[in-house]
Amino acid sequence: MISNLDYVTLQQLWWVICSVVGALFLFLTFVQGGQTLLWQVAKSETESALVVNSLGRKWELPFTTLVLFGGALFASFPKFYSTSFGGAYWVWILILFTFIIQAVSYEYRKKPGNVWGTKTYELFMFINGSVGVLLIGTAIGTFYTGSAFSLNNMNHVTWQYTMGGINLRGLEAAFSLFNISLGLFLVFNARVLGALYLLNNLDLGSVAAMEQRLRKAVWTNFICSLPFLLYVVVAILLMKGFNVDDEGVVSMVSFKYFLNFLALPHLLVMLLGGLALVIWGVLLGAHKGSFRGIWPAGLGTVLVGLCVLCLPAFNGTAFYPSTFDLQSSLTIYNASSSEYTLRVMTYVALAVPFVLLYVAYLWKQMDSQKLSTQDAMDHEAY
């Protein structure tokens, strides 16, 4: 079956696969969101132990998925990887730094002889959950707003954006209102997911006040996310986009992403369905007294993320546009690996469903019993 796929189909398939991994990462940022809630919802050492040990069971998952996302992009779309990760390296270095200090925090927060104190490492966790997620959102935003780079005939990338003679190497993405709004939406959505996850994962019978704080955090952060979500959605529908014609020439087209929704209605269904699921999860957690809101909200986040990542890549659109030189813009067709490489990778990818089933099995075994205050204090690992 795979041998019958043509090169164009393989290119499209691998962008979808990479987008699925990226969308799963956005769901797993419930760990980062939970870290930013620590000082808000935990008012005692016991409650802090509950939150940190619950998140500590899953902290490797978003980090591993982010690495997998980068690895999949490197293998399937190497020109994008070299252009973005090489040219805009300050953004990616800062993102990587926030995840490094996260790993250090879980390792050393309760280490004997910790001279910095637990609050220092909790601050590192907060930075990872806020600054890290914000920067990831601004990086995704460049799929729509573009970056100031150019490519020569040897595919050497030159970053053109400077301020005061200093080449910002991708940090200019943080100066875009659209990019920042997308990043802030992801930060608040991660906080919503974090609160919903903790409600689902913790035995809150002996800390009823903490349960109320978590339910309040679900609603408050959802409300805070709405202005940024509304701005991002309206901007996508109204903004000009980077159209690629049959000859590969890139030009600006008004309402390009709105036209993409019309041409690819399944993406619109995915966006609306995902948002509806997130709202359902929020209502379950904030107002219905349920502990299972993380699942519809998590699935909704995956669907919205998949839509956001696929919309700027299909229907003749440059997924990584250059605002300095339109013809340097990258598409899934001029940025991908060879047909042979993509075909071999597709055979390897057949094992992915089995890996996912194994992860789901481990997740179920790990969470077969909710974490209680007694367990957190007796077996405090983080």
Residues 6+ apart with CB under 8 A from 305: 19, 22, 23, 25, 26, 27, 274
What was the pLDDT predicted at 304?
A: 98
User: In which residue are the tokens 């659209």 written?
Assistant: 178
User: For 194-215, what is the mean pLDDT?
Assistant: 92
On the question of pLDDT at 2 being above 80, the answer is no
On the question of pLDDT at 157 being above 70, the answer is no
What is the total residue count of the chain?
Answer: 382
What was the pLDDT predicted at 350?
A: 86
pTM of the model: 0.94
- Is residue 224 a contact partner of residue 184, using CB atoms and an 8 Å limit? no
Which region holds residue 330: left if phi is over 0, alpha if psi is between -120 and 50, else beta? beta
User: For 292-315, what is the mean pLDDT?
Assistant: 97
Environment class of residue 123 by beta-carbon count within 10 Å: exposed (0-12), middle (13-18) or buried (19+)?
A: middle
276-287, pLDDT tens digit by residue?
A: 999 999 999 999
- What mean pLDDT, rounded, does the chain reach? 90
What was the pLDDT predicted at 244?
A: 96
Rounded to whole angstroms, how far apart are CA atoms 213 and 220? Answer: 10
Rounded to whole angstroms, how far apart are CA atoms 329 and 88? Answer: 15
User: For 221-232, what is the mean pLDDT?
Assistant: 97
26-42, pLDDT tens digit by residue?
A: 999 999 999 999 999 99
User: For 9-14, what is the mean pLDDT?
Assistant: 95
What was the pLDDT predicted at 155?
A: 61
What was the pLDDT predicted at 208?
A: 86
Give the largest Cα separation in the chain, rounded.
Answer: 66
Q: What are residue 330's phi and psi, to 5 degrees?
A: -105, 140
Comparison of pLDDT for 202 and 207, the residue scoring more? 202
What was the pLDDT predicted at 324?
A: 87
58-98, pLDDT tens digit by residue?
A: 999 999 999 999 999 999 999 998 888 877 788 889 999 99
User: What string of DSSP letters covers 341-357?
Assistant: HHHHHHHHHTTHHHHHH
